[in-house]
Structure 1
Amino acid sequence: MLRSTPLALGVPLVTLLCPSPARGQAPIQAPTAPPAPVRTVSLSLAQALRTALDQSPRVQQSLLAIAESGDERRSAAAALMPTVAAEALGQRNKYNLEAQMGMSVPGFPKEVGPYNWSRTGLEAQVSLFDLSLWKKWRASQHGEDSARAQGRAVREEVAAIVVGQYLRALRAAASVQAGESRVELAEALAKLAENQQKQGVGTKLDTLRSQVQLQTERQRLIQAQTQRATALAGLGRALSLEPGTRIELTDALATPALPATGFQESFAASLAQRPELAALEAREKAAANMQEAAQALRLPTLVASGFYGSAGLESHPSTRTYQVTVGLRVPLFTGGLVSAQVSRAKSEQSRVQEARREVRSQVGFEIQVAQAELDAAAHEVEVANLAVALSTEALSQARHRFEAGVSNNIEVINAQDELAKANDSQISALYRLNQSRADLARATGRLENMYLPQDHPAASAR
């Protein structure tokens, strides 16, 4: 039995129980709120990139990580700085001299006090020599450098996502524009076939073929419009925009300026510019400093402390007092603490070195692939442009032959299909050219710099 049967049986029952409006009386409708206006945002690729870098949660998290590493550096530096504190002390004392001395002394009282005394002043302490603290501070500096480089890597990743999504939206928009032009052309050719049939030059079959081609072009246009809507929604998601925001693209899919560098130049630039490599290099330096800091725990440390203030009994005036102390501490046995910390630092160094080797190899692979894709896409664009020009000329010739009654419109239909394929190939080639150019810039670590001017805050936040 279908589950919808009780619902179907319940509808007449509700109708019988609820009073119906009088005949001729219009039902009362609840007022509806006006639809909210749709927000429209016009974005170029540079504007989209700025928006993403300003609003991306990943970028904000990387900024917090940089701030935390700065706090760690300041904490490590504070251990090397002097500490100063104010002190105010008051005591009431009473002593048993016999108990403290362990004997009774003739002529001396058995007890002293009670009496009150107080002391006020400043006390300070500073580390004169502690190589371990110094190396830890250096390690924290390199840790902050690593966090900053990792922040640049996050920005490059976000930029790659936004640029790729924007280029996909441009490709979809170009497909819609080409589809609209083909629909207009198909409508004109269908009208021409109808006129040819009315004049006795064409046949009913020519008219039917042109109508079928028109519907085919309309279907392609619907698919292109759907892909454009999907691509724009993905772009809005990448930019963290409010759902439902309408995005208008101000850039167009065109042939960009291509870099003239080869593999060796690009690979050398990537070794100097890739933030991932810079982050790993800073981590390796930090691990080396931590190893030296652990080894320095075996060395003596020298600390100076002092007090300056006033002290005195409650019934007497206070007297200026001071105290200066210099202490030397020599570790003799640490219970394996030093060897454990040295081993941990060496493991971190080895791990970072292996990661650098892997990233270096990955960078070379990315540059090779992007360079090959860029060269191939550049040739594809040239071939696709020529194919579009030839297909357009072939369609024009077929249309003239059909208008003159020399042939039927089979040649026109075939030429329309060839033009549609050429348009799609041209758009795909332009997209691959722009995407491979962005991939090459990403592989060399300069994707953000390629699309944003250096004086913009989003480009200079490093």
Structure 2
Amino acid sequence: MFRTPSRIAGTPVRVPLLLTLLSAGVAWPQAPAPSSAPATSSRTVQLTLAQAIKTALDQNPRVHQSLLAIAESGDDRRSAAAALMPSVAAQAFGQRNKYNLNAQMGMTVPGFPPEVGPYNWSHMGLEAQVSLFDLSLWKKWRASQHAEDSARAQGRAVREEIAAIVVGQYLRALRATASVQASESRVELAEALAKLAENQQKQGVGTKLDTLRSQVQLQAERQRLIQAQTQRTTALAGLGRALDLEPGTRIELTDSLAAPAMPIAGFQETFQASLAQRPELAVLDAREKAASNMREAAQGLRLPTLVATGSYGSTGLQSLPSTTTYQISVGLKVPLFTGGLVSAQIARAQSEQSRVQEARREVRAQVGFEIQVAQAELDAASHEVEVANLAVTLSTEALSQARHRFEAGVSNNIEVINAQDELAKANDNQISALYRLNQSRADLARATGQLESFFAR
């Protein structure tokens, strides 16, 4: 997006190098990169915007926390599914028994001993149970599926938020870098003009006042360069913090500040696409489905449940052959009174549905507002870039004309100084317009829920 400058209304959109604007004068060498403050780490990383986003999404703690939330929701879904599956258990036990037969029967039986035992017996086998019909369990499982979908959508929302932070910080760093480059060119230009004023004075064409004016202008441009370098340093430090890089890591941006690809869709088309893409709406959709299933699960508590159980094993007395035994049973449970449990759970699920519906209305309205604002700012910024490009062209021509007049001795360098100031303002306006254009494009991508996919590809 940033590597190749594009055109707006047929005008190349780029930060001009001032050294090429005055070809009639002395050809100056390219300025070396300004020295920055000593870093505490010798590591240097080169980053495109896509690489910066990927780095942030790989390392950000909030992204990792969202992954843990997704994993936990998956565990809840599997737990709900386990209630619908058969449960099988192996069992083995032995007993040594002695009974008072009279006490067990509640009477004395002639011919029977008063005591039985002691004797030993054992049993080994399998026991299984399965729910044949339980609507409540089934709906709870469906609700857990939607809860997992909600966690995944929430994870996408977190990724979009982190990507928005990185994009904004990267664009600010690009703007600061472009300002440094423009300031470096203006300093070189001011140095050349100061040298020209000095030569004009020596030749008797110029005055000491012209030389002083050019020196003052040179110092002003150097001060602007220092300010631009400081802004670049702080912007890169903020980018490193957003990427969770080691403090002191030097960052080199490989993208440049240029006009992005402009969208062609209108508001309605963009708005409808946003409703399908925004992760916040996906979260609410999943929550509403989960609440609906929980309401149906609560209603299912009023329905009968059917459970089948069975056991198969081997039982026998000690020192005697064992006998194969089994038992199969089917049980029907009909709830008659639940103490208000069902109505309470239904009311809670309905309240959740109502909250989700109100939240959806708010999010839909917010999405529409964000799209309208982003499109308006994008349109305005594109026109600002056109105006700024023209202003740079005109101020460059004015500076060239003022210099030629000063060289010819038909005027002093007041016109040159004024032209320098106008060109500096035009450069700053062009950089600011390009920054606003890119930020507006990022805001529109964020509003449509496609920020990561648009910038990280």
Tell me whether the two structures share a fold, i.e. TM-score over 0.5.
yes
1:167 aligns with 2:171: yes
Paired residue type of 2:394: L
Deviations 1:170-224 (A, max 9, x none): 0000000000000000000000000000000000000000000000000011111
Written as runs of structure 1 = structure 2, the 5 A alignment for 1:116-127 is 116-127=120-131
Deviations 1:398-444 (A, max 9, x none): 00000000100000000000000000000000000000001001000
Written as runs of structure 1 = structure 2, the 5 A alignment for 1:12-411 is 38-411=42-415
Distance 1:152 1:382 in 2: 36
Q: Which runs of 5+ in 2 are unaligned?
A: 1-38
Distance 1:68 1:241 in 2: 29
Offset at residue 452 of structure 1 (A): 2.2
Specify the SS of the correspondent of 1:95.
Answer: strand
The residue number in structure 2 matching 1:432 is: 436
Distance 2:269 2:176 in 1: 34
Paired residue type of 2:385: V
Distance 2:244 2:319 in 1: 74
Distance 2:224 2:69 in 1: 48
Deviations 1:88-132 (A, max 9, x none): 010011111111111111122211111100000111111111100
Distance 2:437 2:340 in 1: 59
The residue number in structure 1 matching 2:5 is: none
List structure 1 runs of 4+ shifted beyond 2 angstroms. none
- Residues 385, 433 of structure 2: 8 Å contact kept: yes
Distance 2:228 2:124 in 1: 83
Paired residue type of 1:130: D
Paired residue type of 1:412: V
Deviations 1:18-41 (A, max 9, x none): xxxxxxxxxxxxxxxxx9751100
Distance 1:178 1:230 in 2: 18
Distance 2:176 2:242 in 1: 17
Distance 1:316 1:255 in 2: 92
Distance 1:368 1:342 in 2: 39
Distance 2:75 2:40 in 1: 46
The residue number in structure 1 matching 2:450 is: 446
- Residues 40, 247 of structure 2: 8 Å contact kept: no
Distance 1:363 1:205 in 2: 60
- Residues 191, 218 of structure 2: 8 Å contact kept: yes
Distance 2:284 2:66 in 1: 16
Distance 1:37 1:435 in 2: 31
Which one scores higher on RCO, CA 8 angstroms, separation ≥ 6? Answer: 2
Paired residue type of 2:268: Q
Distance 2:284 2:187 in 1: 55
The residue number in structure 2 matching 1:26 is: none
Distance 1:67 1:313 in 2: 50
- Residues 213, 417 of structure 2: 8 Å contact kept: yes
Normalised to the residue count of structure 2, the TM-score between the two structures is 0.91
- Residues 41, 248 of structure 2: 8 Å contact kept: no
Q: Which runs of 5+ in 1 are unaligned?
A: 1-34, 454-462
Residues 350 and 72 of structure 1: CA distance in aligned 2, closer, same or farther (over 3 Å): same
Distance 1:315 1:153 in 2: 69
Deviations 1:55-82 (A, max 9, x none): 1111111111100000000000000001
Specify the SS of the correspondent of 1:280.
Answer: helix
Distance 1:449 1:395 in 2: 44
Q: How many residue pairs were aligned? A: 419
Paired residue type of 2:439: Q
Offset at residue 392 of structure 1 (A): 0.6
**Cα root mean square deviation, aligned:** 0.9
Distance 1:159 1:345 in 2: 34
Offset at residue 340 of structure 1 (A): 1.0
